[in-house]
Structure 1
Amino acid sequence: FQALAGGPDVFSQPLEESEAMQALYAQKSPPVWAFLNDIEPYLWSSAAGGRHPQSDERVQQLFTEGDTELIVTYQATLAAEQVEAGVWPSTTKAYLMTSQPDGTISNTNFVAIPINAPHKAASMVVGNYLGHMESIIARFDPKGGHGWGALPALDPASSQAAYSGWNTAFEAVCADLAGTAPTVEELATHRVGELHSSYITQINADWAKYVHARPE
């Protein structure tokens, strides 16, 4: 969608709060559905004729079984993790999109404490732990105890990381991932922001209407 219609720089306000954004969306979104319909014949299809797997787990299964040649994921270390586990062949590589738009859509996880949370202090303790370097590295390392491979929210090359010595831990993880995953620096350089959630809701609805529900 962002390659053909535009990203946060174009759709700069929540969709439901701006008539101008709604008009712009109506103007710019049709080429997206046309493109998706054009590539339908080249997509995976089930024996029953369906072309749209219902979950990310199913998409990964299709890739594992050799039924698809490419998958898209937020988890930059997924390929390294699956290669290490022997699930995917050693030739599997993760790469970044670097054109149209100039980068790869990326985000980081966050936590929030509800206003009516009964144990706010305890929640803050958990939040502090999640923001600690040790916890960030544990989540980043796909071979660690968490086995997650989550993108770090902090810059491992920052003075804070260097001063604390945690930059060496980041470097060790990156060395293990070399060749199968983009580096943290590459991820940061090519990071592209996401659209406001109101657009995601509308995109999902329009995809179901103009692409998924379209007669074969």
Structure 2
Amino acid sequence: MPSITPRITRRQLLLAASAGALAPAHAQTASSGWAAIEQAARGQTVYWNAWGGSAQTNNYIQWVAQQVSSLHAITLQHVKITDTADVVKRVRAEKTAGRGAGEGTVDLVWINGENFAAMKREGLLFGPYAEALPHFRWVDTEGKPTTQNDFSVPTDGMESPWGMAQFTLFADSKRLPQSPQSMQALLALARSQPGRITHPRLPDFHGTTFIKQALVEFAPDRQALARPVTDAALAAQTTALWPFLDALRPHLWRAGRQFPQNAAAVRQMMADGELLLAITFNPNEAANEIAAKRLPSSVVSWQFEKGTIGNTHFVAIPYNARAKPAAQVVANFLLSPAAQARKADIAHWGDPTVLDIPRLPAADRALFQTGALPGLVRKPAPTLPEPHASWVDPIEKEWTRRYGV
């Protein structure tokens, strides 16, 4: 995957912010609908509940806050969270307490997967709104189908795509010259280098993703994974998963009796030479770390040749948000070429874009400049769809029962 370096001027930001109103793609924006939303948004405060565990992410959100304040007179407050499930619980509690439209504490939430599925199922979301956003017309819905399908749950316009992710591995090529290209090859490597491979403890997101990658690779019927889980389906599709993990466990770090807390810990152990490889869901992470001089330039990234799990992360608006117009304007700004280019730049974040760059107008394409940098994925692999969101909980519970002690 190439690096992306934006060249963004103040004038381009203004053009990007207003482009939707000038060339709308949907019925709502073809009339005065979007202009009315922008007008209603002025002066509103958006409380955006978003993970706050990364300095790069926090800095990017602060930049967004500065832009929407300048362009739209919107105050954006980053409510830093550690687990989106806590936001779901809060909105659910507000609904139970009868706090209706305009009475909520959350205006925008960074979300995907089982948390989105729960909010959609329980009627906790505002919408549909996403496909009516002016900048949505540039989203790559064909090449990146997960922009409209979240863990095999159709988004139905209830959340707006924000960034792409794909299961990726990285290692120092001086220590690991040959990259394993499947979970089976990873098992062979673990057997030959005991104690040098591991993954985060579940339910850490990256640990769960590691197990889901194995599930997808070994499932007898991948189509079954796209449907809501049942006891029978769980038993049938994990017949090879648990034997694989049983075989892998004794060769893991500390013989699989302990697991690191998160992917950052695994990355540091790899950097220190204690482990051979690390895992991420951001294909640009190693390049980011190399650019920040936290990893050597000999680190390489790769994805299994037959594909790895990938998905999209989104922003959604709760049903009872107080600032629905401003939340929509913020979501639209996040889809602007200027905002997407900055987010994709490894100097700022390095989060892959959801936009179809070749379809952008020439001036917007110019914001995305490609080039080869150390640590980038040289040969992107096919993206494998996530299992249906309902598979996460039973997989995590069974893993914990078997290996969590």
TM-score range, shorter chain: 0.7 to 0.9
Hey, what does 1:182 align to over in structure 2? 377
Query: Aligned equivalents of 1:61 and 1:68: distance in 2?
Result: 9
TM-score (norm 1): 0.80
Query: How far 1:179 sits from its partner (Å)?
Result: 4.5
Hey, what does 2:175 align to over in structure 1? none
CA shift in 2, pair 1:153/1:68, >3 Å = same
Q: Is structure 2 residue 336 aligned with structure 1 residue 122?
A: no
Hey, what does 1:30 align to over in structure 2? 239
The answer for unaligned runs of 5 or more in structure 2 is: 1-214
Q: Which of 68, 71, 83 is equivalent to 2:290? A: 83
Query: Aligned equivalents of 1:81 and 1:7: distance in 2?
Result: 36
Query: Aligned equivalents of 1:140 and 1:108: distance in 2?
Result: 14
Query: Aligned equivalents of 2:396 and 2:338: distance in 1?
Result: 37
Q: Please give the residue correspondences for 1:173-212 in structure 2 after superposition, counting only pairs within 5 Å.
A: 174-175=370-371, 177-182=372-377, 187=380, 190-212=382-404
Query: How far 1:155 sits from its partner (Å)?
Result: 2.2
Query: Aligned equivalents of 1:139 and 1:8: distance in 2?
Result: 33
Hey, what does 1:68 align to over in structure 2? 275
The answer for unaligned runs of 5 or more in structure 1 is: 16-20
Query: How far 1:134 sits from its partner (Å)?
Result: 0.8
Query: How far 1:14 sits from its partner (Å)?
Result: 1.4
Query: How far 1:206 sits from its partner (Å)?
Result: 1.1
Hey, what does 1:132 align to over in structure 2? 336
Is the contact made by 2:299 and 2:374 (CA closer than 8 Å) also made in structure 1?
A: no
Residue identity opposite 1:182 in structure 2: V
Is the contact made by 1:75 and 1:150 (CA closer than 8 Å) also made in structure 2?
A: yes
Q: Tell me how large the CA RMSD over aligned residues is.
A: 2.1
Deviating 4+ runs (over 4 angstroms) = none
Residue identity opposite 2:363 in structure 1: G
- State the secondary structure of the residue aligned to 1:195: coil
Hey, what does 1:98 align to over in structure 2? 305
More strand by proportion, 1 or 2? 2
Hey, what does 1:18 align to over in structure 2? none
Q: How many residues in Structure 1 have an aligned counterpart in Structure 2?
A: 191
CA shift in 2, pair 1:179/1:82, >3 Å = closer
Residue identity opposite 1:10 in structure 2: A
- State the secondary structure of the residue aligned to 1:149: coil
CA shift in 2, pair 1:34/1:182, >3 Å = same
Is the contact made by 1:7 and 1:194 (CA closer than 8 Å) also made in structure 2?
A: no
Hey, what does 1:154 align to over in structure 2? 355
How far does the alpha carbon of each residue in 1:70-95 deviate from its partner, in whole angstroms, 9 at most, with x for none? Answer: 11211111111111121111110111
- State the secondary structure of the residue aligned to 1:94: strand
Is the contact made by 2:287 and 2:375 (CA closer than 8 Å) also made in structure 1?
A: yes
Residue identity opposite 1:74 in structure 2: F
Query: How far 1:6 sits from its partner (Å)?
Result: 5.5
Hey, what does 2:89 align to over in structure 1? none
How far does the alpha carbon of each residue in 1:140-165 deviate from its partner, in whole angstroms, 9 at most, with x for none? Answer: 1111xxx32112111222x2x2x243
- State the secondary structure of the residue aligned to 1:45: helix
Query: Aligned equivalents of 2:331 and 2:246: distance in 1?
Result: 44
- State the secondary structure of the residue aligned to 1:93: strand
Residue identity opposite 1:40 in structure 2: R
Query: Aligned equivalents of 2:250 and 2:387: distance in 1?
Result: 28
Query: Aligned equivalents of 1:141 and 1:7: distance in 2?
Result: 38
Q: Percent identity, please.
A: 27
Please, which moves more after superposition, 121-130 or 3-12?
3-12
Query: Aligned equivalents of 2:233 and 2:273: distance in 1?
Result: 40
Query: How far 1:13 sits from its partner (Å)?
Result: 1.6
Query: Aligned equivalents of 1:206 and 1:79: distance in 2?
Result: 31
Query: Aligned equivalents of 1:88 and 1:197: distance in 2?
Result: 34
Query: Aligned equivalents of 1:14 and 1:29: distance in 2?
Result: 15
Q: Is structure 2 residue 360 aligned with structure 1 residue 168?
A: no
Residue identity opposite 2:270 in structure 1: F
CA shift in 2, pair 1:58/1:6, >3 Å = farther
Query: How far 1:182 sits from its partner (Å)?
Result: 2.3
